[in-house]
Amino acid sequence: MDTVAAPGFLFTVLAFVLVLGVLVFVHEFGHYAMARLFGIRVETFSVGFGREILGVTDRRGTRWKVGWIPLGGYAKFAGDLNEASQPDPAVAGLPEAERAGLFQFRPLWQRAAVVAAGPAINFLFAILLFAVFFMTWGHQYTPPVVGTVVADGPAAAAGVRAGDRFLEVDGQPVDRFEDMVRIVAMSPGDPMPVLVERDGAQLRLTLVPQKVEDVDRFGNRYVRGRIGIRSGPPEVVHRAPLSALAHAVDETASITRLMGDTLAQIVTGRRTIEELGGPLKIAQFSGQSAALGAAALVSFVALISINLGFVNLLPIPALDGGHLLLYAIEGIRRRPLEPRVQEWVFMTGFVFLISIMLLLTMNDLASFGLWQGLKGLLG
């Protein structure tokens, strides 16, 4: 594969702001729309943090604005103490008539629905993008049938033969060769059971993907698993609307499952956190995807939308998943946690998120060769 020159800095920044801005708007609009459905007053809808660059107030009193730090956003409801939707203890003494449009006085199920709507709309948005992609640019489809087996490779060692059709890989059903490649890539060096069909019979084999390093056309290096098989020629199928939607749901579910597997591998020590990217990597890939054209950019936006929905569902205070966890505790206790406890929980979650963000940024800088460069200068 020929190496392609990386896009310029300004182009990368603009692509990053566009990608993240669209996805943050979609995420926060999920919260906003569900809140409006329940008659909850929304004071602020912001894309970006920090000082307001521009904004407008609508007839309902909601301030729609853009902040100068394009690394997220928020929908602030009436009665919230801050942008993280931490309840304001001061509203507890308000008369009943003034509580009607306040978020924290709504039934538990409504508050949970408002919080869950953000990640949910990110998944729905990804499904919509994939469906449009499959109808317009087409859906690459390669039957999961082995064309050739590389001699002395993991597949050959496991007994895989040309003509075998893969049915399951690591417990996951596969319909396309591309699905199988994606699953194998996430588990270099880990034994995985596979189910193949040969001459009408089903066989269970165990593969151990070889750990290899790939370099893409921009020079980015990736570690992935490979089993040493090749498929036949791929087909590009332009799907009808219902078929495109069904395959888009499958694609989104498959990517979400792989994200969960990756997180589990990191938690259990099978993969290192150094393999994760942060905001700088997202910015880099935004520019590279935009440089490759509309098809690559749409596919990348769908992937990041799934990532945003997945991460926000993690049970970490200050994220949507953290709020849902507190609501679950409230449902079990039949009353919310005390304000002081909630404040401590939110602050702990905030510190944790900032720490993770700094760590991922350090990973990004390391992948760019910054530390090696400084070491060379100082040495």
* Catalytic entry in 28, 168, 178, 251: 28
Residue 164's pLDDT band (boundaries 50, 70, 90)? very high
Other beta carbons within 10 angstroms of residue 85's beta carbon come to 22
| pLDDT for 117 | 97
Pull the structure tokens for residue 318.
């200050």
Quick: pLDDT tens for 166-196.
999 988 888 889 888 888 888 888 899 999 9
What's the pLDDT at 47? Answer: 93
List beta partners, residue 64.
Answer: 45, 56
Query: What's the whole-model pTM score?
Result: 0.81
pLDDT for position 371: 46
CA distances (Å), origin 21, targets 14, 137, 194, 262, 339: 10, 24, 41, 26, 33
- Rounded to an integer, the average pLDDT of 76-82 is 75
Which range of 122-126, 197-201, 231-235, 371-375 scores highest in mean pLDDT? It is 122-126
Which residue, 282, 325, 229, is CA-closest to 12?
282
pLDDT for the residue 368: 60
Higher pLDDT, 96 or 314: 314
Average pLDDT over residues 260-268: 80
Q: Would you list the DSSP string of 176-188? A: SHHHHHHHHHT-T
- pLDDT tens figures, 335-359: 888 878 877 888 888 888 888 888 8
Q: Is 28 a catalytic residue?
A: yes
In whole angstroms, give the CA distance from residue 286 to residue 296: 10
Q: Which of 126, 63, 41 is nearest to 303 (CA)?
A: 126
Q: How far apart are CA 280 and CA 285, in angstroms?
A: 9
Give 279 or 315, the one with higher predicted confidence.
315
Give me 250's structure tokens.
């499958």
Percent of the chain beyond pLDDT 90? Answer: 43
Residue 80 per-residue DSSP state: B
pLDDT tens, 213-261?
A: 776 666 666 678 889 998 878 888 899 999 999 999 999 998 998 888 8
pLDDT of 218 reads 61
